[in-house]
């Protein structure tokens, strides 16, 4: 399975100490050089940077170049930030089975390109369904405690999707 990731999913999972879920869900993930730079160089010492470096050293994260000579790449770069645009361009160029991203504008572009996508919340739901975590609510609450915004209806819908009820924490 070819999986390409944007920066946000990597950082948000690292912030809540759930980066390891990626390794359990996917045998390999590819990130564009831009995502590597944003996470590791630009985020030196921040959540996501050491995790991504370790994952690359272990061989399950690949850093790849994006073909910047395509019309798709140019159009994506006009509409999105560099990491999102490169992740979508790389996913399109490689015929990826799945692209990992959170921002709604990028998710809309993924749909327009015919790419299957999921984000941080979707990965947490999958992890619960596959028995990798016992409950989703603590992870969602931890995300809310960071800069990750979750609409109340999405929060409740996510919990319902895996048979959990909202409990005050």
pLDDT in tens, 5-43: 999 999 999 999 999 999 999 999 999 999 999 899 887
Cα–Cα distances in Å, from 27 out to 55, 152, 158, 160, 163?
11, 33, 25, 28, 27
Domain ranges, ordered by start, for the chain: 3-119, 121-161
pLDDT at 169 over 70: no
3-state secondary structure of 165: coil
Q: How far apart are CA 162 and CA 60, in angstroms?
A: 28
Extended strands (E) in the chain: 3-5, 29-32, 61-64, 98-100, 117-118
**Total-model pTM:** 0.91
For 90-128, write each residue's pLDDT tens digit: 999 999 999 999 999 999 999 999 999 999 999 999 999
Name the CATH superfamily, with its identifier, for domain 3-119: 5'-nuclease (3.40.50.1010)
Q: Do the beta carbons of residue 115 and residue 5 sit within 8 Å?
A: no
- Give the end-to-end CA distance of the chain in Å, rounded to a whole number: 37
């Amino acid at each position: 399975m070819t999986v390409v990731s944007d920066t946000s999913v990597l950082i948000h999972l690292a912030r809540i100490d759930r980066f390891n879920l990626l390794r359990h869900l996917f045998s390999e993930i590819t990130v564009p050089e831009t995502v590597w730079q944003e996470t590791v160089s630009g985020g030196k010492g921040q959540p996501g940077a050491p995790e991504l470096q370790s994952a690359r050293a272990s061989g399950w994260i690949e850093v790849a170049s994006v073909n910047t000579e395509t019309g798709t790449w140019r159009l994506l770069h006009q509409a999105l930030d560099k990491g999102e645009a490169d992740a979508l361009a790389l996913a399109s160029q490689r015929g990826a089975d799945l692209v990992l991203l959170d921002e709604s504008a990028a998710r809309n572009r993924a749909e327009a390109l015919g790419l299957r996508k999921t984000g941080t919340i979707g990965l947490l739901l999958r992890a619960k369904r596959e028995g990798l975590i016992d409950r989703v609510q603590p992870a969602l609450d931890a995300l809310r405690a960071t800069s990750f915004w979750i609409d109340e209806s999405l929060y409740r819908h996510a919990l319902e999707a895996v048979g959990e009820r909202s409990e005050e924490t």
